[in-house]
Structure 1
Amino acid sequence: MDNLESLVITRRLRVPLDADPGGASDGGRPGRGEVAARQLDAALLTAGFACSPALLERLSGLSVEHVIDLGLRILAAVRELAGDHVRHNAYFIDFPRNVPGTAEFWTSLMWRSLLGPDASDQAVTPRTLNLLTLPDYGSYPHAYADLLAAHAELIPLAGDRVTVLDLGGDLRSEARELYLSLAGSRVPLPAEDLAALRELAAYCAGHLPELAAGEAPEHIPVRENRAVVNAARLAAGLPLLVDTVTDVLRLACGASGGDVTLATATRFRSFRRAERRALLKALDAVATDAALGDVPRLREPWKRLGERLHPHEYPHLPRAAHVFDVARGERPARGLGGRVETALAAGRTDEAVELLERSPGALLRRLDHLLRTGTDPERVLAAAAQAARAASGRVLLSLREHLHNRLAPAAGRVFVNRHGRAWTSADTRPPLSAGVLAQAAGLLDEEITRRLPDLGTLVVEPAMLDVALPLSGKAAAPGLGMLPRGSLAPVEGELLRFFVHWRQTARRTDYDLSALMLDDAYGDPEYISWTNYTNDFATYSGDLTTAAHGASEFIDVVLARATRPVVIPQVNIYDGEPFDQAAEAFFGFMTRDLVQQGLPFEPRTVRMKSDLRGAGSVALPLVFLRGGDGGWRAKWLHLYLKGSPAFNQVEGNRLSTALLVRSIVEREYLTVRHLAALLARKGGAGDHTTYLGLQAPADAPEGARVYTPATLHELIPA
């Protein structure tokens, strides 16, 4: 129950409150918990959070014991959200002051290593040194208490972050709302949200009979979400929600504790007879001749699943058995994709279009290719117009963004997989005519507008306009201040400080926080890393090479003195455990004014914090850009480079990083601004108000709908 409560607090910034077990059912006598509630609010403020007036009033009416117990759980949840649940020490105790020059530091370290701390000018015997194994290097030379004593207290300023926690309903209703939002998401969820959905579905099965033990929302468009929900339904003995054979395979993976995305192999468990019967019955219902074409691309998992389901024991379900016959190569089946590729390779574009008309989403995903290879663009556009009426809203928006970026040549084509692993290639595609692009974009905008809901009076916070629509959330781990890839946000403050914290699981692990700084043409590089501690405007906190109890590294950038307008933080795995195998790994950034001083890590100045868990060896969370007006903005990347197996350094990946980041920066993403323009074109007929903002407003009228970045996926049309 505590974990569900924490999920609601961190995902929705709402505190679920049930009846006070120590007071009256209506919350108890007013004022009983007022002192404890004020103390909780003060403690929250040190981490950059505060109670809304409604939450503070409700807490004040609870018993003191209940407020204290609840307050401890709230504090634990929000501190972890901001990265304040660990001790952030720094290698140089006075950081960012008194950081030695790189040559000075290494000379001092080598001198102490060769001669000892009490050495005089005695002769030195020459020998080979491994710099990273020098005594006193790579581990904290002082305790955290020493760091606390060396720093002045943070001076609170009005610009410090204050994230408001609002009053929620009871835990059952909050869990239900979060479950329906995640299950019905029209964009793929990150791994953390899939895990949350699994827990919520199990909770609904046991505590929410009105949801029919985990009943799904009306429509679950994302297959991975459907598999997680189906796993709960299978355990509860409920009918399964499947319409493709691959839905059954994903479900079997989810029920076995495996990967519902099918990206990694699953070790299938032994299913009970009732479960085998349910899976085969569902498979038999959808295994048409056309559907069998999807089986060959996943032959191995299908063969392994057949060994667990024993389809030969169910002769009355023959179509289910056909699936495993195809997997073993005993029955021919050819998928739609293969036939389309054959037609395109032979130059028969019209035939490919005819085939793709049976699968609207596949046709739209190949629209660019069809327009480039076909001799009759009007025929292709007519098919696209028909397909747009049946394809998902996410496909329409993704294609609309793609077409907009085809108007101008790109620095390079960017490819990003589901784990955030990114790579680039030269854009060798022939251009499409402006007229064809305009016609295609027009038909997409028309269909998207038709599907958008009536939001009544729309109020959009200006800072929300440059937030990119979340067309895929897989690479972005949930966290504080997180925005979708391509989003822009202003960076306010005189000092930018980004940080990484990690804790190893079993073996020595060395992550290196670094910064690549480039000019307007993405050249003339300058570096801050363990090989270069300082320059005229940036300072490194020192290199740590082991993290048995956790390690933190920081880089300061004084924005007014920056001589490079592009600053790219990156986290390199120099040695040890990958991001997704470490016990903990997260990145974030703070902003503060120069007069504030304080500790290297001050939670109330944290603007963004999120886990690192991509498949690459070099993490590129975001990029900081100086605009023509002198102001700075952050653009979210959520990218990982493959890197080398070990010894990754910022100097070694400059070219790939620069091209990749430039391609992302120069790409125009579909943002809330575009969606708001379509909504304005449609107009609102209702008498309600809809607010789009980075946080829920404290003065929102009663009954108003509020969408923040955490719930923006709910606005993606079906």
Structure 2
Amino acid sequence: MAQIFESLVIRHTHRLPAPEGSAGAGTVVARQFDAVLASVGFKLSAELLERLSGLSEAAVVHTARRTLPVVREMAGDHVRHNSYFIDFPANVPATEEFWTRCVTEALGDKASRGKVLAQLTRGAVDLLSLPAYGRYQHTYEEMLAAQDELIASAGDRITVLHLGRDLDTELGALYLALAGSTTPLNEDDLRDLRTLAQRCALDPQPERIPVRENRAVINEARLGVGADLLLDTVTDVLRLACVLSGGDVTLQEPTRFRSVPRPLRRGLLAGLDAVIAANPAKLADVHTHREPFKRLGERLHPHEYPRWPHAADVFAVARGEKEARSFDSRIEELLTASDVLGAVKLLESAPGRLFRALDLLLRGAAGQEERDAVIAAAVRVAPDVSGRVVLSVREHLHNRARESGRSRIFVNRRGRAWVTPDARPPVPAGDRDRLIAALDAEIRRRLPAPGRLLLDPAVLDVALPLSGRATAAGLGVLPRGSVSEVDGERLRFFVYWKETERRTDYDLSALLLRADYSTDSWLSYTALRGVGGRHSGDITEAPDGASEFIELTLGRVRGSFIVPQVNIYAGEGFEETEESFFGFMLRDGEQKGRPFEPRSVRMKSELRGAGRVALPLVFRRGDHGRWQAKWLHLYLTGITDANRVEENQASVSMVVRALVEREQLTVRYLTGLMADGTAPVEQWDGETVPDEPVTYIGLVRPEGLHPDSRVITPENLRDLIPA
């Protein structure tokens, strides 16, 4: 179990909990450990290397054996990445030439000759029936022998592992950071919080747990140890019940409730009773999730517990036997009657809902007087609205003028995206500008005094993580909408998947778009060679895992956008496979190496979204011909089988255009607000580290920072979002 907790700390913080062991002369082994780490793109900080050097050789070896599997998995190097064409990217044939070769070989094979001849007489050949198609024709070891060694480059990725505190302290700090997050966590982080909550349920808790999903997994742990539950709405109890049944804590998917043991049943009913007893008006919240509450009541049998009558009222409302008028129905009635002022007055009691309805209220207002009242109400309640919602509305208003007459993009909690025409009337520019100014002032008021602020310029265009679900788990991953520079001559994508039960065929493709988002060309299993690019070959099953690659020489690409995508041609979805992930590598022109080299991996992210087409990011040609990556983390519905880049190019183009042209709030925005105050902002030169404590914001943590410094990197970027 200790190793599982250590891996959590390493993945989330890039710190190694202080190694333990007897004192000794471990310098030689520590340096060997550092060298092995370098082969997968990691290194020990000077402080950590010094600490290990003072331990016995056995202690260093023990530490290395526990650490290496973790960092290898972070980079995607824990599996074997073979390629169909043994010396990829060299000697990739043209598609027609390759298919003809497969047919010729099949005709020369006695076992397959008759079947292929019969297909030829019908005018079409099934590629999957050809022995040489879709399956590795060589072993992993044979592929390694055919590849040259990777030539080291100064541009290779180096991720530093820093010295952490003892394991208990690191776990406590990580628990508080995840539990108290001001933004929702992604599925992987929420799973890690659940693991930590089982250990930390009776330990000190965050002052506030603003995210309801976090509260639910923490309540599960607290229920298990008999601690008081953290409840203030009936929906908190419903979420907890979903967790206990292994269902969806976000309530987006239906949960099949399991039979609940009596002790847990009593805990849930007592919690519901206490919430309603304290505020009977909260019965109205039942309407939002009536059906799940009805199903839950069938499992809890509230009639058996007359001492909790308020809990029974919850299920009576769900069944329609007791009236509790919902807040939303009252708002809808007022808006239907064009009573905007009445709706605003009622919404002031629910500041978050008022903020989410601002656009609708401004559009529904009869004139400037009513719009002034809407804005005045928003300013009054702004201090009571969560920072995440304030920032989300600020971003919405910024894009509002730009979106009018264009397409709107919607992304649900599971990353599924769709685009629709924007038919909304515009919000008057003056009203929009007044609201933006008020929201900027509110955010500026909430930002803590950073003291001396040290800023890595590379982080300025990273989008604020207003939802953790806009970021996939992995290494070097940035939130949706972030922009980062691409420094390298050769760009190589990769996808890996391993099927769970049935044959699964994922197809890595790249769509190349012109400046107007029209299609220029693509690379896929049907187009193995294109302008500046090569595909590694189609793999059509993955019982032992499979990889596909695409390499592009950026200087030879004609288009303005490169859109890598993973299409599910057949088999299991991204959430059904045993494992699936995507990433990209960058290499200089002279570098060789295997198809997969962990040192050259710039990003590796899990594929775990809803939909049959994954769009991890888009590369766009920026100023002076320099390439940038803009992060998408999107999934398209696709079709049940046979998704192909040729068939989805129009829908992909629309989604890419909508998100590329949308402007997100970034670190630049928040640090700009800080600079408006008293905090001096210094740009880090990449070398000089101050002796005094600073607030550092950057892509990676520099070595040698004062121990009392506050450090913000992509791993804890959510800490920038004010409460």
Question: Normalising by structure 1, what TM-score?
Answer: 0.95
Instruction: Check conservation: 1:215, 1:233, Cα contact below 8 A.
Output: no
Which amino acid counterpart does residue 367 of structure 1 have in structure 2?
L
| Structure-2 separation of matches of 1:704 and 1:247 | 36
The one of 697, 706, 710 aligned to 1:705: 710
| Structure-1 separation of matches of 2:308 and 2:264 | 15
1:383–1:150 Cα change, 3 Å: same
Q: Deviations over 1:391-424 (max 9, x none)?
A: 1000000000000001223641010000000000
Q: Give the structure 2 partner of residue 216 of structure 1.
A: 205
Which amino acid counterpart does residue 89 of structure 1 have in structure 2?
N
The one of 176, 196, 221 aligned to 1:232: 221
Partner SS for 1:408 = helix
Matched, 1:306 2:301: no
Q: Deviations over 1:608-664 (max 9, x none)?
A: 001101010000000001112111010000000000011000111111110101110
Instruction: Check conservation: 1:102, 1:533, Cα contact below 8 A.
Output: yes
Q: Give the structure 2 partner of residue 57 of structure 1.
A: 50
| Structure-2 separation of matches of 1:345 and 1:674 | 38
Q: Give the structure 1 partner of residue 627 of structure 2.
A: 632
Q: Give the structure 2 partner of residue 691 of structure 1.
A: 696
Instruction: Check conservation: 1:214, 1:229, Cα contact below 8 A.
Output: no
Which amino acid counterpart does residue 137 of structure 1 have in structure 2?
Y
Runs (4 or more) in structure 1 with deviation over 4 Å come to 117-120, 123-126, 685-688
Instruction: Check conservation: 1:507, 1:576, Cα contact below 8 A.
Output: yes
| Structure-2 separation of matches of 1:64 and 1:638 | 43
**Which residues of 2 match residues 548-697 of structure 1 at below 5 A?**
548-684=543-679, 688-697=693-702
Deviation, 1:119, is 13
Aligned residues: 701
Deviation, 1:685, is 9.8
Q: Give the structure 1 partner of residue 157 of structure 2.
A: 161
Instruction: Point out the more displaced range, 77-86 or 250-259.
Output: 250-259
**Which residues of 2 match residues 39-188 of structure 1 at below 5 A?**
39-116=32-109, 126-128=120-122, 129-188=125-184
| Structure-1 separation of matches of 2:248 and 2:531 | 48
1:19–1:68 Cα change, 3 Å: closer
| Structure-2 separation of matches of 1:693 and 1:482 | 14
1:357–1:450 Cα change, 3 Å: same
Which amino acid counterpart does residue 102 of structure 1 have in structure 2?
T
| Structure-2 separation of matches of 1:124 and 1:271 | 61
| Structure-2 separation of matches of 1:522 and 1:290 | 51
Instruction: Check conservation: 2:106, 2:112, Cα contact below 8 A.
Output: no
Which amino acid counterpart does residue 199 of structure 1 have in structure 2?
T
Percent of residue pairs identical: 55
Instruction: Check conservation: 2:407, 2:421, Cα contact below 8 A.
Output: yes
Deviation, 1:63, is 1.9
| Structure-2 separation of matches of 1:380 and 1:112 | 74
The one of 291, 303, 324 aligned to 1:333: 324
The one of 197, 211, 236 aligned to 1:201: 197
Which amino acid counterpart does residue 692 of structure 1 have in structure 2?
I
Which amino acid counterpart does residue 178 of structure 2 have in structure 1?
L
Partner SS for 2:625 = coil
Matched, 1:348 2:339: yes
Q: Deviations over 1:231-284 (max 9, x none)?
A: 111111111111111001111222333321122333434444443333222212
Deviation, 1:699, is 2.7
| Structure-2 separation of matches of 1:645 and 1:377 | 47
Q: Give the structure 2 partner of residue 379 of structure 1.
A: 373
Q: Give the structure 2 partner of residue 399 of structure 1.
A: 393
Instruction: Check conservation: 1:499, 1:555, Cα contact below 8 A.
Output: yes
Instruction: Check conservation: 1:48, 1:160, Cα contact below 8 A.
Output: yes
Partner SS for 1:37 = helix
Q: Give the structure 1 partner of residue 684 of structure 2.
A: none
Q: Give the structure 2 partner of residue 210 of structure 1.
A: none
Matched, 1:295 2:286: yes
Gaps of 5+ in 1: 206-212
| Structure-2 separation of matches of 1:170 and 1:39 | 24
Deviation, 1:118, is 13
Deviation, 1:114, is 2.9
Instruction: Check conservation: 1:514, 1:555, Cα contact below 8 A.
Output: yes
Instruction: Check conservation: 2:693, 2:707, Cα contact below 8 A.
Output: no
Q: Give the structure 2 partner of residue 260 of structure 1.
A: 249
1:119–1:82 Cα change, 3 Å: closer
| Structure-2 separation of matches of 1:552 and 1:293 | 51
Matched, 1:444 2:439: yes
Q: Give the structure 2 partner of residue 369 of structure 1.
A: 360
Partner SS for 2:353 = helix
**Which residues of 2 match residues 240-279 of structure 1 at below 5 A?**
240-279=229-268
| Structure-2 separation of matches of 1:271 and 1:502 | 36
| Structure-2 separation of matches of 1:238 and 1:715 | 31
Q: Deviations over 1:525-577 (max 9, x none)?
A: 31110111111201100000000111000000100111011000000000000
1:704–1:379 Cα change, 3 Å: same
| Structure-2 separation of matches of 1:75 and 1:587 | 21
Which amino acid counterpart does residue 44 of structure 2 have in structure 1?
C
Partner SS for 1:567 = strand
Deviation, 1:291, is 1.1
| Structure-2 separation of matches of 1:177 and 1:214 | 11
| Structure-2 separation of matches of 1:263 and 1:179 | 25
Instruction: Check conservation: 1:617, 1:640, Cα contact below 8 A.
Output: yes
CA RMSD of aligned residues (A): 1.9
Partner SS for 1:368 = helix
Instruction: Check conservation: 1:214, 1:232, Cα contact below 8 A.
Output: no
| Structure-2 separation of matches of 1:471 and 1:223 | 15
Which amino acid counterpart does residue 233 of structure 1 have in structure 2?
R
Deviation, 1:369, is 0.9
| Structure-2 separation of matches of 1:585 and 1:380 | 47
Q: Deviations over 1:659-686 (max 9, x none)?
A: 1011100111000000001111232499
Deviation, 1:688, is 4.3
| Structure-2 separation of matches of 1:462 and 1:605 | 22
1:172–1:530 Cα change, 3 Å: same
Deviation, 1:215, is 4.5
Matched, 1:507 2:508: no
Q: Give the structure 2 partner of residue 492 of structure 1.
A: 487
Which amino acid counterpart does residue 380 of structure 1 have in structure 2?
V
Which amino acid counterpart does residue 510 of structure 1 have in structure 2?
D
Q: Give the structure 2 partner of residue 474 of structure 1.
A: 469
Deviation, 1:313, is 3.3
Which amino acid counterpart does residue 498 of structure 1 have in structure 2?
F
Gaps of 5+ in 2: 682-691
Deviation, 1:377, is 0.9
Q: Give the structure 2 partner of residue 209 of structure 1.
A: none
| Structure-1 separation of matches of 2:704 and 2:145 | 42
